[in-house]
Amino acid sequence: MYLIIDGKKLAASMREDIAARAASAAEKNGRRPCLAVIKVGSDPASQTYVKNKEKACAACSIESLKYELPETTSEDELLALIASLNGDSRVDGILCQLPLPKHIDEGRITDAISPEKDVDGFSPVSLGKLLSGKDSFLPCTPAGIIKLLKSAATPIAGKHCVIIGRSSIVGKPSALLMLRENATVTVCHSRTEHLADEVRRADIVIAAVGKAKFVTADMIKDGATVIDVGINRDESGRLCGDVDFENVAPKCRAITPVPGGVGPMTVTMLMENTLKAFEMHCKKQ
Ligand code: NAD
């Protein structure tokens, strides 16, 4: 019998804890933690993600400021808004929802967010600190993955973890965090040869490909733990992950569902990072 790792439940209990810590920190410091969320254009998925972040802020006793800018916003206008939020002492965290319209260079935007307010953990400073083992804002999805694995009492140290996907927001930072947990890590990607053979060797599989039902039962070793990061639509338009859950789950020790696995934890780690930023700013003032 396999365990379904319930990200929704874990996220709810973490949010209660964050709310209590945020409320007591607010009492001490005379203001609440504050997250500024910027959205450019009207991408429907981004709209949903931003709404989820607002809801999470409300549940965590964190103030949220929303900036909804039109698709035609120039890179300079966006950089000017970020500069003003960087300098605003009431703002602890800044998040710019990706993807941005094509005429805006995402790298320039993430680089412009002050490392002290980089609650997404995407800036070169945060990623550099992660690489060198220093304290930093951890990218939210990989940090959530570690929490999910630990919540299911998954042995990590010395185990073989195969990550499918090498993006800067999921695959690569997940590899660094799993190394920090003393796993032996293999990162697979679109050019990997014999991908199924690589995945079959894994005690822990982290799938971050962005292709519906990409990971099939024949790729999974009996008793593996599977974390499904993907958010896709299947042939009938239903939300699904990168893993063929129905056929893969019976082979697993534990597995995350989609929805209700990694997604709620990503937003919760953003709240955790915002509270951390608030505490750091209050200490400095
Ligand atoms: P991405 O498109 O930046 O990266 C996808 C990766 O998959 C690439 O590194 C690529 O090399 C690899 N890949 C593509 N085709 C492959 C193949 N045939 N074989 C092996 N590897 C292949 O995507 P991302 O931003 O890392 O996101 C991945 C998925 O996770 C998407 O579905 C995204 O929506 C989802 N996501 C979910 C959350 C969450 O909170 N649940 C957060 C971030 C991303």
What percent of the chain has pLDDT above 70? 100
The reply to whether omega before 257 is within 30° of 0 (cis) is no
- CA 66 to ligand 1 centroid distance, Å: 27
- CA 165 to ligand 1 centroid distance, Å: 5
Q: Which of 92, 118, 120, 203 is catalytic?
A: 120
Cα–Cα distance measured from residue 168 to residue 238, given in angstroms and rounded to the nearest whole number:
27
C-beta 207 within 6 A of ligand 1:
no
- pLDDT score at 68: 97
Cα–Cα distance measured from residue 156 to residue 130, given in angstroms and rounded to the nearest whole number:
19
pLDDT in tens, 181-234: 999 999 999 999 999 999 999 999 999 999 999 999 999 999 999 999 999 999
Which atom of ligand 1 is nearest to 144's Cα? 40
Is a pLDDT exceeding 80 seen at residue 285? no
Which secondary-structure segment (H or E) carries 164? strand 160-164
Edge-to-edge strand ranges of the sheet holding 93-96: 63-69, 34-40, 93-96
State yes or no: is 285 an active-site residue.
no
**With contact defined as beta carbons under 8 Å apart, do 230 and 208 qualify?**
yes
For ligand 1, pick from 140, 229, 240, 267 the residue to mutate: most ligand atoms within 8 Å of CB. Answer: 229
C-beta 36 within 6 A of ligand 1:
no
Is a pLDDT exceeding 90 seen at residue 30? yes
Long-range contacts of 132-135 (CB under 8 A, 24+ apart): 133/180
pLDDT in tens, 101-158: 999 999 999 999 999 999 999 999 999 999 999 999 999 999 999 999 999 999 999 9
- Distance of alpha carbon 109 from the chain centroid: 18
The residue-averaged pLDDT of 55-78 equals 98
State yes or no: is 97 an active-site residue.
yes
C-beta 129 within 6 A of ligand 1:
no
Q: Return the residue whose CA atom lies nearest to atom 5 of ligand 1.
A: 209
